[in-house]
Each structure stands twice: as structure tokens, then as C-alpha cells.
Amino acid sequence: MKQALHLIISCAVLVLTMGCSKPDHSEEAAQLKHELHDMLYKNPELALVRVDSAKQAGVFSAAMANLLRTNIYGAMGQTRLAVYYGEQMLNDPELKRERLRERLWGGATAGMGDTYYSALLMLCGLVERNGEYGRVIRLSDEIIADVDNERGQGDISEQVALRVKSRALTFKGDCEYHLGHPDEAERYYLESINLMMDGVKQSDDYWVIDGMFTGIIEATEFYLEQDKAEKALALVAKGDTALARLDRCADVPDRVYRMRHNNITIGQAMIYAANVRNSERHLSSLKDGRVATDEDVVNGWRDKAEALYLKHRQAESPSVYDIGADARYLVMTDRYDEAIRLFRQADSLYLAKGNAINTVYIKNYMMNQYRALQKAGRQDEVLALADRMRQLTDSIHLQERKIDVEQQQKIRQKEAEIASRRQSVIVYRILAVAALLVCMFVAYMFWRAARYNKVITEKNRRLLAEIEQREREEQQTIEQLEAAPEADLTAEQQLYRRLCELMKQPDIFTNPDLDRSRLAQLLGTNEHYVSDAISACADGKSVNGFLNEYRVRHAAHLLATTNDSVALIAELSGFSRSSFFRIFSEVYGMSPSDYRRVAKK
């Protein structure tokens, strides 16, 4: 019984713990991230399949899988799907608990910062790309409030908190600018930069420092587009400070180091070039309240701009962005033909890398080339490029609508799968609870049966003791009767003594045909005398009761001393099968099986 209970309890524990064990897949996950990075742009569809398989196998958590899907769909230009998966990460406790200082695509490093906030900032960029500027502002406010709360509780470092806030403020500046609020945009950009300048001075973590570069680059673009080059001059010193702090950082990847040096260098060159252009435009006037700048200062800006441009041109392995930035600088300095050549070089390199042809491509590459052609007076090429831009724009809009529909279908399909999985989980939990309840019920029934059997066994033992005591008393009465002188006995007692002597032969009372008449014949007397003798000397028993008592006692002896079946013992004791159980239970107060169990113990 105890073994059965232990088995049931073990089954219940197994039901509760099924699927809860989580083996360590950290090394496998890190290796797979490297593989996914290699196929991110070459075969993103396969990367998505690998992520799904890894998630099902438990290599990636649900939060990490969503993070990777967000990045992959973002790289594919499928912003709606990227945002959909990015939203799954919002307030995800699993991702928020990780607090991992790890790269999204690689192993542990000091360069990517907090995983959860990196994911949220990525989501902001995707939503901004989707044109939902108000939503980005609200999300940025939520990030700032959350990071302040986490910093107050000591769950995030001061430097990481400042970096995240700085990046969120930059997003707010971008969105306010797109919404037509330049003053608000400028305020957010400067707040972002100053936050990093004042709060992060000793950090050796390039991921933290990188927030400063983002703010400076975005503010530089803002001032240049707003034709406020004189305000951008203050960013030159801040850019030099950012580079100096980056140089102090350890383990900065070469790609990041070159990219940020190139960003700041060409940005400063364009700031000086824009100020030279504006100063020459107003050199001899005081229009708009502006004071003409000293010619020596302008020449100094010109020399600095050109030196920075040449430095940037000599950079190792220039990117598409670097070539395009060089072309923009040349436009500022009225070198249109050379600028057009670089724009086309950047365009060819962009397409050769297999990058998407979208509205961002038209804005950042084709429109800049278009303006340069206009300023160069090359009207035929302007018209040809304009026609190509219109065709591409129409084609992109059609493709974007098609992709948008496909993404919505995938999202609906995914939501249906999630709903189905949730239902499956609910069903599994219901079944698990039901199985547990069944196990508990079976265990309770076993316990109750065991307890009942224990009670019955104790009761039967008491009954057995009482029966044995009663039989001993009856035997003593018979022995006293046998020892008494016949002269002292009544006629009934004398007949009863003869009857008891006869009952010492089992063959007599086990005869199922024995009755009062045959018993009287065996004793050579009248039936009534037999009945009267039994009634007077055996406490008022009837003849059948007297015979059944001897038969039951004989059956009890066989039950205790043999392994014969109960049915056979009934026949050997002079009973029919139908009456044996009833009579035995009436005499002994328990069934034959219970008696055998107690008597043998």
C-alpha cells in the first residue's frame, strides 16, 4: 500500500514538473547568434527559420527570439512585422531580468549594454521608420520614466541609465523635427548631448559613450538642414570631446571606431563649410540682423573644413554613408561635378550590397544627387533622374502596399497561432490539474481504504478474541457436564451430554443431510427430547443453530489451518455455498475471508 502511495505521489510531482527543466544552452545560443549574423543580409528567411527552430528547442527564450525577429525583419525592411515582434518585448519580465551586457549577435562583451533597453531603443527606431512619430515620443517618455525608476532602485547603473535616456531624447528630437516643431527638436538634441557630456566623463564602455555620438550627429544634421550653421559650431568641440572619450574605451571594435571617427570628422567639415558658405553670402551685409564675419575667420573655417574633408577621404574602407557624406560636403563647396561622381559611386555601392530600394534610399541618395545636378546646371540629367525617381517612387509605393498586406496577413496568422498556443496551454493546465486531482483522489481512496482495512482488522481481531473466549467457556461447560455424576444430571442434561459426545465426530455434523429427525435417530430418542435438551443446555439454541455452530467452528478451523478455497471449505463443513457466507457472518460477525486474514496473522 505504501509503495502504491509513493508511486501516485511521484506521478503527481511528475505532472507538475513536466517541461519545467531548462538545460543550459548559453554556448549554443551564442554560437547560433554568430551564424544568424552571417546570414542576416544574405538569407534573412533562413535566419528566421533558424530562430523559430532554436526557440522551439529551448536554445532561445521567447523574449530573445522576438528580439532577433525584430532585428531580422527590420533589416529586411518589413517594418510592420519588426514593430509587431518588437512590441512583444515591451515590459517583458524575462528580457528585463537578463540585464546582460552582451551583443545582440555575439558573445559577452562590454559593448552593447542592457539588453532590455537596447531592445526598446531598437523598437523606437523601427516605429520612427514607420512614420509613427507621436507613438515614438510616448514610447521614449515611457523608457525615460522606467529607466529613472530602475536607476532609483539600483537595478541599472548610472552610466547605462544616462545612455538610454540620451538616446530616447534623441528620438524625441527626431520626431519633433518631423512633426514640424524645430524649437522642441533643438531642445531635445541639446539635452541629449549635455546629459552625456556632464554625466558620463570617465566611462570606458563604448556602448555608453556611443549615445553621445548619436546626439551630436543628429544635432549636426538638424542645424545644417535648418540653415543654422553658426549654432552647429558649438558641436565641433563636443565632437572632439566624444572622440577623446572613445579613445579611452577598451575593446572598441574597429568598425565602430572607424565609423564614429568618420562621422565626427565629416560632420565637422560640413559645419565649417556651411558657415563659410553663409558668411560669404552675408559678408558685406547685415541682413536678418547677422553681423558679417571677419574674413580671416572665414578663411580659417575654410582651411579646417578642407583639412577635415581630406582626412575623411583618406579613411580606410569608406562606407556608403561616408562616400555620400563626402559628396554632400563637395556640394557645399560648389564642386558639383565631383560631388555627382561620388553620389553615383555611393549609389552603385549601395545597390551592389543588395540593400533595399525604398523611400529612404530615394531621400538619402537620389535626392542629394538630384540637387547636385540642378546646381550643376545639367538639366538633361536632372530630368532623366526625376523620371527615374518618379518611377521608383510609384513602384516602391506599390511594393510597400503589397508588403504591408503580406505583413498584416503574417501578423494575423501569428496572432492566431499565439491564440491557439494559449488555448493549448490552458488545455494542458486543465489536464494537468485534472490529472493531479485524479492522483490526489486515488491517493485519498487508497488512504481511506487502508484506514478502513486497519479499522476492520482491529474490529475482527476483537471479535476473534471474543469468539475464542466464548468457545472456551462453552467447552468448559461441556467438560463440567461430562465430569458430573450421571445421578446428579437431569434427563435433558444426560441427553445433551450424549449429543456433545456425538458432535466430537466431524463426519456427523458436516453431513448436510443431518437434521433433528436424523439426530434423534442417532441418539435413539424422540425429536422433541433433542430439541428440549439443546434449548435447555445451550442457551435456548435451536437444533439447526446448534448444528450450524459446530459446522461454522469446523469451517473456521479449516480457514485458519489450510489454503483451501472458501467454497470448498463450505462444502466440507456441510454448508451450501449460498448459505455459508450468511451463516458464518451471523455467527462470527465477519466474512470467511476476513476471518482467515485475521486468524492467520
Q: Look at 93-97, 216-220, 396-400, 576-580 and tell me which has the smallest mean pLDDT.
A: 93-97
248 with 200: CB under 8 angstroms?
A: no
Same-domain status, 122 and 238: yes
Assess if residue 444 is contained within a domain: no
Of 251, 275, 297, the last residue of a domain is 251
Assess if residue 182 is contained within a domain: yes
Same-domain status, 493 and 373: no
Q: What pLDDT score does 98 carry? A: 57
Helix and strand totals (H; E) in the chain: 28, 0
Amino acid at residue number 261: H
User: What's the full length of the chain, in residues?
Assistant: 601
Q: What pLDDT score does 22 carry? A: 54
Q: What is the mean pLDDT of residues 255-267?
A: 92
Handedness of CA 241, 245, 247, 253 (dihedral sign): negative
Q: Environment class of residue 233 by beta-carbon count within 10 Å: exposed (0-12), middle (13-18) or buried (19+)? A: middle
Closest Cα partner for 548 from 578, 584, 517, 516? 584
Total domains present in the chain: 3
Same-domain status, 242 and 110: yes
Q: What pLDDT score does 296 carry? A: 85
Residue whose grid cell is 533595399? 356
Q: What pLDDT score does 17 carry? A: 44
Of 308, 343, 377, the last residue of a domain is 377
Q: Which of 406-410, 436-440, 452-456 has the highest mean pLDDT?
A: 436-440
Q: What pLDDT score does 283 carry? A: 59
Assess if residue 382 is contained within a domain: no
pLDDT tens across 118-160, in order?
878 888 988 888 889 999 999 999 999 988 888 888 778 888 8
Q: What is the mean pLDDT of residues 103-111?
A: 39
pLDDT tens across 178-221, in order?
999 999 999 999 999 999 999 888 888 888 888 899 999 999 99
Q: Which of 49-63, 263-277, 557-571 has the highest mean pLDDT?
A: 263-277
Same-domain status, 200 and 267: no
Q: What is the mean pLDDT of residues 466-484?
A: 79
Of 226, 251, 276, the last residue of a domain is 251
CATH number at residue 515: 1.10.10.60
Furthest-apart CA atoms within the chain: distance in Å: 167
456 vs 41, residue with greater confidence: 456
Residue 15 has pLDDT above 80, yes or no: no
Q: Look at 223-227, 306-310, 354-358 and tell me which has the smallest mean pLDDT.
A: 354-358
Same-domain status, 175 and 193: yes
163 with 113: CB under 8 angstroms?
A: yes
Same-domain status, 155 and 218: yes
Query: Cβ contacts of residue 69 below 8 Å, gap of 6+?
Result: 48, 51, 81, 82, 85
pLDDT tens across 279-338, in order?
877 655 544 444 555 788 888 999 999 999 999 999 888 888 899 999 999 999 999 999
Q: What pLDDT score does 27 carry? A: 77
The DSSP letter of residue 180 is T
Percent of the chain with pLDDT over 90: 27
Query: Cβ contacts of residue 375 below 8 Å, gap of 6+?
Result: 331, 334, 336
Same-domain status, 214 and 260: no
Q: What is the mean pLDDT of residues 398-414?
A: 80
Q: What pLDDT score does 85 carry? A: 85
Query: Cβ contacts of residue 372 below 8 Å, gap of 6+?
Result: 327, 331, 336, 339, 340, 343
First to last CA, the chain: 18
Residue 414 has pLDDT above 60, yes or no: yes
Closest Cα partner for 313 from 342, 354, 283? 342
Q: What pLDDT score does 5 carry? A: 40
* pTM score, whole prediction: 0.65
Grid cell listed for 50? 533558424
Q: What pLDDT score does 293 carry? A: 54
Same-domain status, 233 and 261: no
Grid cell listed for 492? 435433558
Average pLDDT, the chain: 83
Same-domain status, 203 and 286: no
Q: What pLDDT score does 25 carry? A: 66
Same-domain status, 208 and 261: no
Assess if residue 234 is contained within a domain: yes
Q: What pLDDT score does 340 carry? A: 92
165 vs 102, residue with greater confidence: 165
Same-domain status, 182 and 284: no
Q: Tell me the β-bridge partners of 114.
A: 101
Assess if residue 289 is contained within a domain: yes
Could you tell me the residue range of the domain that residue 538 belongs to?
A: 484-600
Helices (H), 484-538: 491-502, 506-509, 516-523, 527-537
10 vs 124, residue with greater confidence: 124
Query: Cβ contacts of residue 362 below 8 Å, gap of 6+?
Result: 389, 392, 393, 396
Q: Look at 77-81, 255-259, 343-347, 566-570 and tell me which has the smallest mean pLDDT.
A: 77-81
Give 400-419 as a DSSP string: HHHHHHHHHHHHHHHHHHHH
Angle in degrees, 0-180, between the axes of helices 206-225 and 182-199, rounded to the nearest 10? 150
147 with 164: CB under 8 angstroms?
A: yes
pLDDT tens across 516-551, in order?
888 888 888 888 888 888 888 888 888 888 888 889
Same-domain status, 109 and 213: yes
Q: What pLDDT score does 9 carry? A: 43
CATH number at residue 203: 1.25.40.10
Assess if residue 285 is contained within a domain: yes
C-alpha gyration radius of the chain = 50
Q: What pLDDT score does 37 carry? A: 75
595 with 587: CB under 8 angstroms?
A: no
Q: What pLDDT score does 444 carry? A: 87
Assess if residue 429 is contained within a domain: no
Assess if residue 96 is contained within a domain: no
